[in-house]
């Protein structure tokens, strides 16, 4: 049996195919594997720049969704501001209620593309509804009692999980550590 060398005309389709695959991979990495804020923060006013700072936000709208669920809309400092909450993170709301500092975590339902406001949908746990919890939810009842113009203290972003790009996320080991970059395992 004689071995024949492949001709140039036979190698051309193979080389072209490999080139297309490599070029597609490079284009994907350059344009689609960027961090989660595709618009970036350049040119945007972001409220949550420091997770240790509390920001006061006034209630501008309260919508009744059901007998025990409300949509609370809070105003950001300007119509140009966005909250600046990365995907997978949450905010802390704090209030002094009956001489006690109460802090609860919430995930807004508004998008980071929404300028000038942040929305929270909250189930209100009223007093004397559930026998195991006769006092109800302290923070949710406080939110329910707010009148238009009343303020809440918000800080964040907070949380161990952060979505960074398509198929990529990071998880902090504890609150004070820098998160390592993790990619999901894919079976082939």
pLDDT digits over 128-185, tens only?
999 988 999 999 999 999 999 999 999 999 988 888 888 888 887 775 655 555 555 5
Mean pLDDT across 39-60: 85
Domain count, the chain: 2
Is the residue at 96 inside a domain?
Answer: yes
37-46, 59-68, 72-81: which has the minimum mean pLDDT?
Answer: 37-46
Beta-bridged to residue 46, according to DSSP, are: 82
Q: Indicate if 20 and 90 belong to the same structural domain.
A: no
Q: Indicate if 66 and 126 belong to the same structural domain.
A: yes
Give the tens place of pLDDT for each residue, 94-114: 999 999 999 999 999 999 899
Q: Indicate if 20 and 97 belong to the same structural domain.
A: no
Is the residue at 176 inside a domain?
Answer: yes
Position 11 scores a pLDDT of 77
Q: Exposed, middle or buried: residue 178 (CB in 10 Å: 0-12, 13-18, 19+)?
A: exposed
Among candidates 23, 24, 29, 39, which has minimal Cα distance to 166?
29
- Please give the Cα distance from 26 to 73 (Å, whole number): 42
CB 122 within 8 A of CB 140: yes
Position 182 scores a pLDDT of 52
Expressed as residue numbers, the domain containing 27 is 12-40+162-182
**Would you call 12 helix, strand, or coil by DSSP?**
helix
For residues 58-84, b (16+ Cβ closer than 10 Å) or e, as one string? ebeeeeeeeeeebebbbbbeeeebbbb
- pTM over 0.75? The answer is no
- Please give the Cα distance from 95 to 173 (Å, whole number): 28
Per the annotation, binding residues are 104, 106, 121, 123, 126, 139
Position 6 scores a pLDDT of 65
Position 170 scores a pLDDT of 85
Q: Indicate if 95 and 148 belong to the same structural domain.
A: yes
Pick left, alpha or beta for residue 116 (phi over 0 → left; psi -120 to 50 → alpha; otherwise beta).
Answer: left
Position 178 scores a pLDDT of 57
Per the annotation, binding residues for FAD are 104, 106, 121, 123, 126, 139
Q: Exposed, middle or buried: residue 99 (CB in 10 Å: 0-12, 13-18, 19+)?
A: exposed
Q: How far is CA 170 from CA 42, 88, 90, 101, 178, in A?
A: 22, 10, 15, 31, 9
Q: Indicate if 58 and 142 belong to the same structural domain.
A: yes
Is the residue at 139 inside a domain?
Answer: yes
Residue 35 has pLDDT above 60, yes or no: no
More confident site: 26 or 115: 115
Is the residue at 187 inside a domain?
Answer: no
Q: Indicate if 174 and 106 belong to the same structural domain.
A: no
% of the chain with per-residue pLDDT over 70:
79
Residue 115 has pLDDT above 90, yes or no: yes
**Would you call 121 helix, strand, or coil by DSSP?**
strand
Average pLDDT over the chain reads 84
């Amino acid at each position: 049996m004689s071995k024949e060398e492949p001709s140039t005309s036979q190698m051309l389709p193979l080389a072209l195919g490999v080139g297309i695959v490599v070029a597609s991979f490079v284009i994907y990495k350059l344009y689609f594997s960027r961090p989660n804020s595709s618009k970036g923060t350049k040119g945007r006013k972001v409220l949550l720049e420091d997770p240790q700072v509390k920001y006061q936000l006034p209630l501008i709208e309260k919508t009744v969704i059901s007998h025990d669920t409300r949509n609370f809309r809070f105003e950001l400092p300007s119509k140009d501001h966005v909250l600046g909450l990365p995907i997978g993170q949450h905010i802390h709301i704090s209030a002094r209620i009956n001489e006690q500092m109460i802090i609860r975590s919430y995930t807004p339902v508004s998008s980071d593309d929404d300028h000038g406001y942040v929305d929270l949908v909250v189930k209100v746990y009223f007093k004397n509804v559930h026998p195991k919890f006769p006092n109800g939810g302290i923070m949710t009842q406080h939110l329910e009692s707010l009148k238009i113009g009343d303020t809440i203290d918000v800080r964040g972003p907070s949380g161990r999980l952060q979505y960074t790009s398509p198929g990529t996320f990071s998880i902090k080991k504890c609150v004070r550590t820098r998160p390592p970059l993790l990619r999901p395992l894919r079976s082939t």
